[in-house]
Copies of this chain bind each other. A is one copy, B any other.
Amino acid sequence: MAEAKKQSLIQRQWPWLSGYNAGTFSDDLVAAIIVTVLLVPQCLAYALLAGLPPQVGIYASVFPLLAYAAFGSSRYMSVGPTAVISLMTAAAIAALPEETRIVSAAILAVLSGVMLLVMGLLKSGFIMNFISRSVVSAYITGAALLIMISQMKHIFGTKADGTTAFTLIRNLMNGLSDTNTVTLIVGVLSILFFWLSRKYLAYGLFKVGMKSKRARLAARLAPIVAIGASIAASYAFDLSNQYGVRVVGNIPSGLPLLTMPHMDMKTLQLLWLPALVLALVAFVDSMSTAQTLAARSRSHVDPDRELLGLGAANVIAGLSAGYPVNGSMSRSVVNFTAGAKTQISGLMLAALMTLSALFLTPVLQYLPLSTLAALIIVACFSLFDFKALWKTLKYSRGDGITAIATFFAVLIFGVQWGVLVGVILAMTFHIKSTLRPNMAIVGRFPGTEHYRDAARFNVETNEYVKTLRIDESLYYANARYLEGKIGRLVEESPKMRDLILMCAAVNRIDASALASLETINSRLKSAGVTLHFSELHSHVKDRLGRSELIRQLTGKIFFTQHEAMEALEPEPDWSQFSDHVDIH
């Protein structure tokens, strides 16, 4: 029995385990080898981008993979260092003293990881809904541009620190006179190679007879050729010592033990907000990668399990002297395309990265930083999405302004603030769109029980009992508008003695709207008008029952609009028709 239960838990957590065989094993292994080739230079490059020593990138590429395999839900996702998260890390630790940055990056990973785990345990995967697509897309475009600018110093071989576009460009300009020509040549050649191979190689290989899928995979791996070449050149001509070209340098071989980084209150106070923003961005970004992969493979991702997987990966990244990680779109796609079948491929990748950490470091130390920077810069090309920005602006001014503001906020205030600016503006525009909800005086279609807008349809209304239909939930942002609307209605309707609010479309009445309804009730009372409600949703009615409004209400709550009219409508004053109508 207990055995069966255990079986079913494993079944639920890792459904792909059943039916694992030699075929799937070899598929996974091939994919892992290919991703390793991609990941080794990338993890060094992203550590550089984060302003951390190269080994930190390697550490962040081993243990997090194991944690994600255990807790995450996507089969193909490859977690590890990524461009945007590395830049966020750089921004978060930039203000801290040089000597504490490595520990702070690890603390940042632990904090973000714990936040993600807590969100996952509280099943709050829904929070990703607060970050709209257009904000994410504008944010990534802005971050990519900022990353490119931040890497230019390595291409020129100069120094130019900063976390905003303004300071980066100013420092870059100031340092231009110190440009190292050999570094610049290596950097520009690398950019050209990476860019041309990414853009044309797949097509070229396909033309000379390679299968389309295989050609695309080969093109993805082409960077390793340039990296090999630049390592060889660096070693052969001793670029570092002879020409002052900055290289990766000595990397400690092996992996660190798992240890908790030392935290003090002051660091925590500085890092909690960046950690929160980082956790949100990592989650939203990883989810969109996971969903894309799930759609291709007709499988399913669970946001709450993604939170757990990503949270565990980050906690482990921090404990293993790494820095924050998330799901990498580019590596995950290669993993999927290369034929990975299960997360076993992630475990194999971790093993291969361990071997790299043990045996490749003597070779990698000669790699020029400008080649790594070129790798980052070309990777950023594919993150730009100005077309989406333009499309959004054309469709909706509010959404477009939000996206553009997000883009510029990233550049001007730094990568941490872009998402916050975007989320708050998106909320603001949405709420602004509901400030003046549609409200209509309704009347009865003659001879029926249907009530429609009196301004658009030829319906029966009367001077004494009026009905206002409200077409949106009532809450703080439109509560005062309702007060004003009813105020004007009272002014214009001297004969009115009953007002019915028809609430079929009101899904919610919040505390502010309740206060407004209380105000309206007492103002109407002093004007001699009785206030009624009709067609209230039952959950709205239940909640109103807990308020004082229900005790003070001058009128009644009617189940249907027709019931209300039947009860309140005055007897027709036949006398006024007596000249025209012959009553039988």
Residues of A at the B interface (CB closer than 8 Å) are: 126, 128-135, 295, 391-392, 394-396, 398-400, 403, 424, 426-428, 430-435, 438, 471-473, 475-481, 505, 507-508, 510-512, 514-515, 523, 543, 546-548
Whether the Cβ atoms of A507 and B546 lie closer than 8 Å is: no
Report whether A396 and B511 are in contact in the complex, using a CB–CB cutoff of 8 Å: yes
In the bound complex, CA of A452 to CA of B87 (Å):
52
Known: A134-B511, A391-B548, A430-B477. 17 other contacts (CB 8 A): A126-B432, A128-B480, A129-B435, A130-B477, A132-B475, A132-B511, A132-B512, A395-B546, A396-B510, A399-B511, A430-B431, A430-B476, A433-B473, A433-B508, A434-B473, A438-B507, A505-B505
In the complex, which residues of chain B have a beta carbon less than 8 angstroms from the beta carbon of A514?
395
A391 vs chain B, min Cβ distance (A): 8
Tell me the minimal C-beta distance from A273 to chain B in angstroms.
Answer: 12
A300, closest chain B residue (CB): B487
Distance (whole angstroms) from the CB of A556 to the closest CB of chain B: 21
Shortest CB-to-CB span from A314 to chain B, Å, is: 23
* Contact in complex: B430, A512 (CB < 8 Å): no
Given A430-B475, A433-B508, check contact A395 B129 (CB 8 Å): no
A133 and B546: CB pair below 8 A?
no
Give the 3 A-B residue pairs with the shortest CB-CB distance, closest first.
Answer: A132-B476, A399-B511, A427-B427
The answer to whether A481 touches B129 (Cβ under 8 A) is yes
- Tell me the bound Cα distance from A426 to B434 in angstroms: 14
Cβ-defined contact, A512 with B399, below 8 A: yes
Bound state CA distance, A135 and B510, in angstroms? Answer: 12
| Complex Cα gap A523–B535 (Å) | 37
B476-A133 in contact (CB<8A)? yes
**Cβ–Cβ < 8 Å partners of A511 in chain B:** 132-134, 391-392, 395-396, 399-400, 403
A428 interface neighbour in B130, B135, B505, Cβ under 8 Å: B130
Nearest Cβ distance between residue A119 and chain B, in whole angstroms? Answer: 14
**Within 8 Å CB of A133, what residues of B?**
476, 479, 511-512, 515
Q: Considering the chains assembled together, what is the distance between the CA atoms of A131 and B480 in angstroms? A: 11
Given contacts A395-B511, A514-B395, contact A426 B129 (CB under 8 A): no
Report B-chain residues with C-beta under 8 Å of the C-beta of A395: 511, 514, 543, 546-547
Residue of B nearest to A438 (CB): B507
A403: chain B residues at CB < 8 Å are: 511
Most buried by B among A131, A433, A475, A481: A475
A431 touches B399 (CB 8 A): no
| Contact A507 B471, beta carbon cutoff 8 Å | yes
A275 CA to B510 CA in the complex, in Å?
30
What distance in Å separates the Cβ of A569 from its nearest Cβ neighbour in chain B? 23
Cα-based distance from A128 to B480 in the complex (angstroms)? 10
A536 to chain B, nearest CB (A): 15
Q: Which residue, A426, A435, A510, has most C-beta atoms of chain B within 10 A?
A: A510
Contact B472 A507 (CB under 8 A): yes
Nearest Cβ on chain B to A131's Cβ, whole angstroms: 8
Contacts of A426 in B (CB 8 A): 476
- Closest partner residue, chain B, to A483 (CB atom): B291
In whole angstroms, how far apart are the Cα atoms of A434 and B472 in the complex?
11
Question: In angstroms, how far is the closest chain B Cβ from the Cβ of A276?
Answer: 13
Report the Cα distance A438→B475, complex, angstroms.
Answer: 17
**CB-based contact A129/B399 at 8 Å:** no
Chain B residues with CB under 8 Å of A135's CB are 476
Q: Can you list 19 pairs linking A and B with CB atoms under 8 Å apart?
A: A128-B480, A130-B428, A132-B475, A132-B476, A132-B511, A133-B476, A134-B512, A391-B548, A394-B546, A395-B547, A396-B543, A399-B510, A399-B511, A426-B476, A430-B476, A433-B473, A438-B507, A471-B505, A472-B507
Q: How far is the CA of A471 from the CA of B473 in the complex (A)?
A: 11
- CB proximity of A93 to chain B, nearest CB, Å: 23
Q: How far is the CA of A479 from the CA of B135 in the complex (A)?
A: 14
Q: Which of A391, A476, A481, A547 has the most CB of B within 10 A?
A: A476
Contacts of A475 in B (CB 8 A): 132, 430
Chain B residues whose CB sits within 8 angstroms of the CB of A399 once the complex forms: 510-512
Q: Which of chain B's residues have a CB closer than 8 A to the CB of A430?
A: 431, 475-477, 510
